[in-house]
Amino acid sequence: MKIDGYTRVCGVMGCPVEHTMSPAIHNTLAESLGENLVYVPFRVPAGHAGDAVKGAFALNLLGVNVTVPYKSEVIPFLKEIDPLAETIGAVNTLVRTEGGFKGYNTDMPGLYRAMCEDGVEIAGEKVLILGAGGVARAVAILAAEKGAGRIVILNRTQEKAQKIAEEVNLLAGRRLAEAKALEEYASLPAEKYLAIQATNVGMFPKVEKAVIEDAAFYEKIHTGYDLVFNPARTRFMSLVRESGGRAFGGLKMLLYQGIIAYELWTGAEIDSELAGKAYGEMRKAMKIE
């Protein structure tokens, strides 16, 4: 691309950032749309998230994605925060406004857009969430907002699952969510669940692992959505499919969180053809056939 005095700069701040796939998404979108915009990684050392936000604004950056470990740490340095990001307590996209950045969370809308594209419904479903970290908490809020019939959160550390269930119930104004320890999975009623895998288990390089190995557990899953995106096909997904369920991975969530950020920065509307092109470039960058 040609960089000149009018080129707008966006990027991702985090630590580490070297593994990021976001440049493949955003630079493909900008090039395809003929936008004079470039997207680069910014490694920010620990303790400097606030400096980075202020510096990015001073340098006239159009927008910034925020990744691990700064999604909550940047919040005090924003001019404004979108209500969804505030509820989730994590910001992954900063949008330039008059006088400062406004923070958004595009991870959950990204997951929802990916699920819609894959034909996965949340409304009325019994939703099983594996994990109780930052992403699992956001998924539980998404599931409540999108009308899940029931939410069960299973986590190795039960207290963390319990805390999320209580927050969700407070938001919903009723007892919608319940928490269980991971090893209690066998006590789940013999029903069919939409299971969302939000632990770190199965991520590269420990790709041979799944958070639960027991085939009997997978009999209860009609659809499994693994948020892990590397590898593209996880052991969890294989176990779901072996028991006759549908399984999806986290790559499309990654794509759509980026697309929604790009739309917020530029006002563009990315159609499915261009989304497909960015998806292809992202897979190439990850060396996925």
Q: How far apart are CA 181 and CA 160, in angstroms?
A: 10
Q: How far apart are CA 224 and CA 241, in angstroms?
A: 9
Minimal CB distance residue for ligand NAP: 133
Is 126 among the catalytic positions? no
Residue 96 or 142 with smaller CB distance to ligand NAP: 142
What minimum distance in Å lies between the beta carbon of 43 and ligand NAP? 18
Closest CA to 140 of 113, 116, 117, 162: 162
Instruction: Extract the tokens encoding 29.
Output: 């979108």
Angle at 195 between CA 200 and CA 150, to 5 degrees: 125
Residue located via tokens 């919608």: 176
Q: How many CB atoms lie within 10 A of CB 139?
A: 29
Residue 96 or 249 with smaller CB distance to ligand NAP: 249
What minimum distance in Å lies between the beta carbon of 226 and ligand NAP? 8
Q: Output the CA torsion sign for 268, 271, 277, 280.
A: positive
Using DSSP's 3-state secondary structure scheme, residue 63 falls into: strand
Q: Which residues, other chains included, contact 262 with Cβ-Cβ below 8 Å and sequence gap of 6+?
A: 25, 26, 29, 30, 268, 270
Residue 57 or 279 with smaller CB distance to ligand NAP: 279
Q: What does the binding site for ligand NAP look like in residue numbers (CB under 6 A)?
A: 107, 131-136, 155-157, 160, 182, 198-201, 203, 211, 227-229, 250, 253-254, 257
What minimum distance in Å lies between the beta carbon of 92 and ligand NAP? 8
Residue 120 or 254 with smaller CB distance to ligand NAP: 254
Asked, as a colleague might, if the bond just before 76 is cis with ω within 30 of 0, I would say no
What minimum distance in Å lies between the beta carbon of 99 and ligand NAP? 29
What minimum distance in Å lies between the beta carbon of 34 and ligand NAP? 27
Given the residues 2, 54, 71, 252, select the one marked as catalytic.
71
What is the residue type of 209? Answer: K
DSSP state letter for 205: T
**CA end-to-end distance (rounded Å), the chain:** 26
Helix 251-266 to helix 22-33 angle, to the nearest 10 degrees? 50
Residue 57 or 112 with smaller CB distance to ligand NAP: 112
Q: How many CB atoms lie within 10 A of CB 133?
A: 15
What minimum distance in Å lies between the beta carbon of 105 and ligand NAP? 11
Residues acting as catalytic residues? 71
